[in-house]
Amino acid sequence: MKAWLLDRYGKGQSLRMGELPDPVPGPYDVLVRVHTAGLNPLDLKLRDGAFKPILPYKPPLILGHDLAGEVVAVGAEVAGWQIGDRVMARVRDGRIGTLAELIAVDAADLALMPVGLTMAEAASLPLVSLTAWQVLVELGQIGPGTKVLIHAGTGGVGSMAIQLAKHLGAHVATTASARNADLLRDLGADQVIDYRTEDFASMLSGYDLVLCSLEGEVLTKSVGVLKPGGKLISISGPPTPEFAKVAGLNPILGLIFRLISRGIRRRAKAAGVSYHFHFMRADGGQLSQIARLVAAGGLRPVLDRTFPFAETNDALAYLETGRAKGKVVVTMSANSKE
């Protein structure tokens, strides 16, 4: 099979097209022919080497976490999946590699594609929608009347989180460029704050939850918009010692995370709020719930651009500009019209 390989970590490092043996599915795996692969900032961070302490992959490796495709083989112990099923997944950590023609996926990570979606639309959903679900539903437990601030609303996670929060009955504020205000209101945002000219921290107060994909001053100032008992949930860091423990990481990393997150944890505690770092996980069951919500019209994919498989490096370069509104997806040439 053809695949895009990362030969060494490095900022802006290009991937190399290579030929590899077709993967052989294990007894609990499903072999999927990849039609489309969604790209995420996580792929850029892995390429750059930023996540080596948490995800110590050894190059050469195939990047890519999201896929939509078709089942072509089923492991001996797998029930519920059949050859020909149209599926989507965020494959679990340790088994990534969707920038390839084929991939063996743990059956528990898969969900059926929502009826009516293209393969490109389906591949845009898994990682970002699961992130939004786990932050807002699992950790945040938001519901009618909840006040939620979602930073970077035009990003992949932001565009999903706005829709999900609104579906759950929350009042939703978001930060973005003013030129994207109409798009974000269409997704469900009640208030759009222009990060270029307005200060969200002076405009908002009494919020229950902040979903932050940014670091530095934005993260620090977000503490001030929360009411006592509120939650600041970051998906970009700094990681916490609690995360290190749950993830089963080296105790030394736990000590490092304690040091680098000390400032934001102290600020949050002083304000009577909590700070959490969330690193999303693969979950086919949750993704199936999301698929049903998409099919019912409660969520819709937000797709910025698609690139052919041969232009994967260009797709990553475009994603790195930060200008994408929603998701960037790589499409296999043989299936480009699906």
The CATH number linked to 219 is: 3.40.50.720
N-terminal to C-terminal alpha carbon distance within the chain = 20
| Average pLDDT value over all residues in the chain | 96
Does 308 score more than 70 pLDDT? yes
Q: Are 121 and 134 in the same domain?
A: no
Which residue range forms the structural domain that includes residue 153?
A: 128-277
Does 87 score more than 60 pLDDT? yes
In a domain, 92, yes or no: yes
Does 111 score more than 50 pLDDT? yes
Q: Are 105 and 137 in the same domain?
A: no
Q: Are 269 and 325 in the same domain?
A: no
Residue closest to 129 by CA, chosen among 106, 104, 159, 92: 159
In a domain, 294, yes or no: no
Q: Are 137 and 253 in the same domain?
A: yes
- Mean pLDDT throughout 77-88? 97
Q: Are 113 and 133 in the same domain?
A: no
CA distance 202 to 221: 9
pLDDT of residue 14: 97
The one-character DSSP state at 334 is G
In a domain, 288, yes or no: no
Q: Are 169 and 271 in the same domain?
A: yes
